Amino acid sequence: MFDIHNLIRPHLRDLGPSATIQETFRGHATILLYAAENSFGSPVTGVSEKGMNRYPDPLQWKLKEKISRIKGVPPMNMFIGNGSDEVIDLLVRACCTPGTDHVLVMPPTYGTFERAAAVNGVDVRKVPSLPDFQPDMDAVAEAIDEHTKIIFICSPNNPTGNTIDAEVVESILVNFNGLVVLDEAFINYSRQKTAIGLLRDFPNLVVLQTLSKAWGMAGLRVGMAFASEDIINVLNKIKQPYNVSETTQELALQALEQVEQINGWIKQTVAERENLAQNLAALPFVEKVFPSEANFVLVRFADATAVYKFLLGKGIVVSDRTATPGCEGCLRITVGTPEENKIVLQTLSKFGA
């Protein structure tokens, strides 16, 4: 049976919660003299209902309740981070003892998985994906041992844009007794269903989502993890007590009111992605446009570096992936507004002319 307490690092097992007021007192205080805040107020007014002189809710309950109504996940099964990048770092730190344990990634994939491990002095086992960017299951089975603590999967995957087959994800969940972290940063642009529904059956699953992509709030830094209560409790225990600021919590609540606008943008982005992909594929110097379920397309060019420099000269910056193993000769182009995409296509039509 999977038990997160067997997976986390030994020194964390007996660590108690941090001493925020929410741990010691619940209810309404008329005089609040607990946290050594400035009782007079804050020089910045009008940005926060609560007053910026006060510490924010360390567990962000209001925000979690709002997200709960949208995602159908109970607040107790939710963790909010300073971006999902914070959650990735916390998961590595919770589970992996440097020098002993390792994580497994399947490149080409999101670089932060590997980076979070490297920053923590934790080894990374890389099992390159198959040419269709699906996991190489035989090689994964061969690479894992009792020190493999986390397998990171990204679906839709960055930078390739494909989704990972649901049966493959389930097979990893069934056969691997460590944590399976499924990063769904781009799920809103995909036809694939979220794996949130699998949480009931798989206590070793962590699903990551973010407000940075479809929700248009990358500048705010809000990432979400959905997982068992046991896993969420571990993350809560080791995070910085006030990891999500008051402003962030309030603005995230505002953003989450705008579901209609977000759904409109998602539809437009998907339509623009398909149009961009089709037009790119028709260019003579394009070798391949990889099918995408995200808000970008990965494109292989006959001479990607020349195209990259050409675009740069016209003030258009895309992501150069020529040095990414598995993405040789490729650029990753984010879907822009209809006007931006038109300019990109018009500009590219003049390449080599």
Ligand X SMILES: *Cc1c(COP(=O)(O)O)cnc(C)c1O
Binding site for ligand X (CB under 6 A): 83-85, 110, 154, 158, 183, 185, 210, 212-213, 218, 223
Alpha-carbon distance of 117 to 98, in angstroms, equals: 9
Beta-sheet pairing, 102-105 with 78-81: unpaired
CB 58 within 8 A of CB 198: no
- Shortest distance, CB of residue 295 to ligand X, whole angstroms? 10
- Shortest distance, CB of residue 10 to ligand X, whole angstroms? 29
Alpha-carbon distance of 232 to 76, in angstroms, equals: 7
- Shortest distance, CB of residue 164 to ligand X, whole angstroms? 12
Residue by residue, DSSP assigns 208-221 as EEESSSTTS-TTT-
Our CB check for ligand X shows the closer of 56 and 159 to be 159
Our CB check for ligand X shows the closer of 39 and 258 to be 258
What residue is closest to ligand X based on CB? 83
- Shortest distance, CB of residue 208 to ligand X, whole angstroms? 6
Alpha-carbon distance of 88 to 116, in angstroms, equals: 7
Our CB check for ligand X shows the closer of 119 and 141 to be 119
Q: What single letter denotes the amino acid at residue 26?
A: R
Our CB check for ligand X shows the closer of 21 and 124 to be 124
- Shortest distance, CB of residue 86 to ligand X, whole angstroms? 7
Our CB check for ligand X shows the closer of 144 and 217 to be 217
- Shortest distance, CB of residue 28 to ligand X, whole angstroms? 33
- Shortest distance, CB of residue 89 to ligand X, whole angstroms? 10
In the numeric block, the tokens 């110097």 are attached to 285
- Shortest distance, CB of residue 218 to ligand X, whole angstroms? 6
Alpha-carbon distance of 343 to 61, in angstroms, equals: 44
Q: 3-state SS of the chain: helix, strand, coil percent to 5?
A: 40, 15, 45
CA angle 335, 340, 344 (to 5 degrees): 85
Our CB check for ligand X shows the closer of 188 and 210 to be 210
Alpha-carbon distance of 33 to 12, in angstroms, equals: 31
In the numeric block, the tokens 């149009």 are attached to 275
Our CB check for ligand X shows the closer of 222 and 283 to be 222
What is each CA distance from 129 to 82, 142, 306, in whole angstroms?
A: 29, 14, 27
- Shortest distance, CB of residue 131 to ligand X, whole angstroms? 21
Our CB check for ligand X shows the closer of 225 and 348 to be 225
- Asked if omega into 56 is within 30° of 0 (cis), the reply is no
Alpha-carbon distance of 38 to 35, in angstroms, equals: 9
Query: Exposed/middle/buried for 340, CB within 10 Å: 0-12, 13-18, 19+?
Result: middle
Our CB check for ligand X shows the closer of 221 and 283 to be 221
